[in-house]
Structure 1
């Protein structure tokens, strides 16, 4: 067990040390403000304060972990070790020249998302507003990289201490805003879609629509048999997120009362985890969210564990507070951004949500995703897509993290737009299944 001496045990300090030491590195950590207890400890230990006690392993602390509320923080980004960026420089007397704990807290708590910023048309925090994007380290899980550098420094000081080993894993996410392109649309939507196809001269779409409706052709969005077969071959559980919200400008899913749709969800649940894709209007309306949660629990016959927000929209801290209020345990909305690949919170290790307004660690586990299918579309060739995908996978492998990808059910269809995406999905699965 790692013992940390500090001048003050704050909720922020407790939170970030437990993420880095326990969640990332797998070692237990405890704290003390008493010098006598620290000196008497005969195992691995360090001090985290303003001044070293003696010649112990010492990391000079920034004020961030001992503050409350939001403050105007000056952040100067610097290079560290030739391949990583850091901030909160703390001088040469520290065993590590940056306060990695304060920096990690800044990223994990999403401190910058509480500060004034420009939102996109859906009200989302954008990549271009983040320090990781501005300073070109969005593509790296810097929190995990810092944690392993911290581990290396500790090992030099305590060579007899055995650190546990962690292995790379994957978490494939299948987002289902609409299970079918043409099936289960209902009469009015079918008529409306038919008229649109005619007026826009989309005769190929019109032909496919009626071939599907007359059961002569397979619905292009119906890729569930393919994905379930892949699930059977994988040692990692996939997670499907189904949209059950009302038809609206933003959400155009299937009718939740349709028996075929209900049967599909139950069938998928026999093989994989099933979660709720929260509708756009439920994100800011706790009553609507509660109704959607009740609907899916009635279908899967067990408490809802995990969620994803429609359009990957987050309003911090309200979005997460609503999930906590309804006892939802995990959320998969925090990502590298819809159109960017990377690590929004700087980590590829799931972490607990810290509410900066209340200054408390909450029980909600945030499982950040690192690539969404749409972000790969900006790369023209399949070769470039594979190169970019393999690069981000390797970043996660180097720190034994969990690689989370978000693909939609229609991504794995035979549509020209998504050509080659089955190959990309297989690269992800193979990266996990090939690990010992």
Structure 2
């Protein structure tokens, strides 16, 4: 066991140390504030405070893990062997930066509590993040810092062993519009027909008629293909179904449709089914609970995983609402229109509630790549280059690569053959 001496044990400190040492490095740790206990400890040990006790492994601490609430913090991003880092610790520190405070800043989403201008959907903008400003959004710096820390510790403690950690790939499929034309009902189908006719969208009109006459398959109905690919390549996948009433931003098939319910049950036989929470339920816990219950009634099993519509996360309220609705895992942490690591990590983590200063009982799985972001890349060569770069970053630290695609995009012909792009991704990045 690696013993950590510090002048004060706080919830922030224990949360961060367990994430870095236990979750990322697989090293068992303990804490003490007693000098005599630290000196007596014969195994690996470090001090995390302002001054070293003797000549032990020492990391000079920033104040962040010993504070409460949110304060305006001065951050100076510098290079640590070509890896961006901040909270410089000085020359006496065995690690040049307080990577624990820096990790907490990113994983807790500290900057999202600070004053900022939200976008049209009430989201924290990617371009307002520290990672975007200093161009490290596409690097899982928290995991990289942890690996660099281990190298330094290994030099001091040759017998120190890193726990088992394997690269993992997860594919998330958003089903917020299960069908483009089919199963829409008479009124919505007629309205769509008249809209296409009135706006002279002839190609779409012909396709709509062909689907209606069962001459052609609905373009968004690619579920059998996805299931086949996932089985063939042994892909861990989760299908997030929106199961909500029609609204301005929620336009899936009616929850009363037996065909839609049959589809969900069919997917549930081969993959994990989870809830794509509606736009309307963002600030409505009761509606969130109702959608969860209704989906559970369809598949006859608990629904514990969630994703918020348009990746809307408002810390800490969103996670408090999800906990209230009894979700255990959330997959919303990421940016819709930017590739990268919103929380600076490719390792799942428990949500830390800064106003309450407590680790909350919901696990956050950060995704790195959303199909909206990929759609904004114009050239296929550039698309593959960006995807490969992210894969290499995650693979290097043996993290978890999580992608988000929608059946809607996979059924479209926007710029590329998206089924081909997706198949390449799951084939190459699953190993």
How big is the alpha-carbon RMSD for the aligned residues of Structure 1 and Structure 2?
Answer: 1.1
| Partner residue in 2 for 1:198 | 197
- Pairing partner for 1:425 from 419, 422, 425: 422
Tell me the CA shift for residue 418 of structure 1. Answer: 5.5
Distance in 1 between residues matched to 2:81 and 2:247, nearest whole Å: 50
| Partner residue in 1 for 2:372 | 374
Q: Which is worse superposed, 45-54 or 234-243?
A: 234-243
Provide Cα deviations, 1:125-179, integer angstroms capped at 9, x if missing partner: 1111101001111010000000001111110011122222312110100000011
Distance in 2 between residues matched to 1:416 and 1:97, nearest whole Å: 49
Q: Secondary structure at the match of 1:416?
A: coil
Tell me the CA shift for residue 281 of structure 1. Answer: 1.1
Q: Secondary structure at the match of 2:362?
A: strand
- Pairing partner for 2:385 from 384, 387, 390: 387
TM-score, normalised to structure 1, is 0.97
Matched, 1:117 2:116: yes
Distance in 1 between residues matched to 2:4 and 2:94, nearest whole Å: 14
Structure 1 residues 420 and 384: CA distance shift in structure 2, 3 A:
farther
| Partner residue in 2 for 1:5 | 5
Matched, 1:261 2:286: no
TM-score, normalised to structure 2, is 0.98
Structure 1 segments, 4+ long, off by >3 Å, are none
Structure 1 residues 314 and 339: CA distance shift in structure 2, 3 A:
same
Aligned partners of 1:170 and 1:428 also within 8 Å? no
Q: 5 Å matches for 1:263-278?
A: 263-278=262-277
Distance in 2 between residues matched to 1:392 and 1:163, nearest whole Å: 24
| Partner residue in 2 for 1:77 | 77
Matched, 1:252 2:251: yes
Distance in 1 between residues matched to 2:197 and 2:419, nearest whole Å: 31
Q: Unmatched 5+ residue regions in structure 1?
A: none
| Partner residue in 2 for 1:98 | 97
| Partner residue in 2 for 1:65 | 65
Number of equivalences: 431
Provide Cα deviations, 1:377-403, integer angstroms capped at 9, x if missing partner: 222121211111111111111110000
Distance in 1 between residues matched to 2:300 and 2:39, nearest whole Å: 54
Aligned partners of 2:87 and 2:97 also within 8 Å? yes
Q: Secondary structure at the match of 2:275?
A: strand
Q: Secondary structure at the match of 2:169?
A: strand
Aligned partners of 1:109 and 1:354 also within 8 Å? yes
- Pairing partner for 2:348 from 344, 347, 350: 350
